[in-house]
Homo-oligomer: A and B are copies of this chain.
């Protein structure tokens, strides 16, 4: 466990009752990450937070989330794909996708067209506006990736993606 927060007992309650004797004065000192510092899940989350914040900064004007970019890119590359397959590819529950696609449809970027072969499913396609929007969006997404990539060497980035793929494989 990490660096001890050396300030421990300086301000332990002077009141009559201080049975909580493990309380530290934690206003200014270093935080002890305790069990967290060796957990992969914790570091994964921190990296994702940094990633998301940079995405939000670079794509501030675009009114779009990383998940929506995923949907647009996937529908572009697989025109006519259905919602369940999009969800599987992105690791998103199909029920989640309903509202996401609702919003993209409201913005006229994606359309639900009737599948020619299965009346249960919708064939998703990009609209003309969606094609144009994505064409202008992708360079910004790549700029975001480029900014994150400055934190790593080229080899490190490749290694990271390879290791993440191993962890992500089902």
Closest to A97 in B: B13
Q: Is A129 an interface residue (CB 8 A)?
A: no
Q: Which of A27, A41, A93, A161 gathers most chain B CB within 10 Å?
A: A41
A89 touches B17 (CB 8 A): no
Cα(A142)–Cα(B80), bound, Å:
43
A160/B164 contact (C-beta < 8 A), A40-B51, A44-B51, A55-B41 known: yes
A46/B164 contact (C-beta < 8 A), A23-B79, A170-B15 known: yes
How distant is A11 from chain B, measured CB to nearest CB, in Å?
Answer: 7
Q: Is A138 an interface residue (CB 8 A)?
A: yes
How distant is A48 from chain B, measured CB to nearest CB, in Å?
Answer: 5
Closest to A13 in B: B91
Q: Is A98 an interface residue (CB 8 A)?
A: no
How distant is A144 from chain B, measured CB to nearest CB, in Å?
Answer: 8
What is the count of identical protomers in the complex? 2
Q: Is A104 an interface residue (CB 8 A)?
A: no
How distant is A86 from chain B, measured CB to nearest CB, in Å?
Answer: 9
A169 touches B15 (CB 8 A): yes
B26 touches A81 (CB 8 A): yes
Cα(A118)–Cα(B26), bound, Å:
11
A15 touches B78 (CB 8 A): no
Q: Which among B26, B78, B165 is the interface contact of A78 at CB below 8 angstroms? A: B26
Q: Is A163 an interface residue (CB 8 A)?
A: yes
A1-12 toward B: CB 8 Å interface, digit per residue (1/0)? 100010000011
* 8 intermolecular pairs with C-beta atoms under 8 Å apart: A25-B117, A31-B89, A36-B74, A40-B161, A40-B164, A41-B148, A46-B168, A156-B163
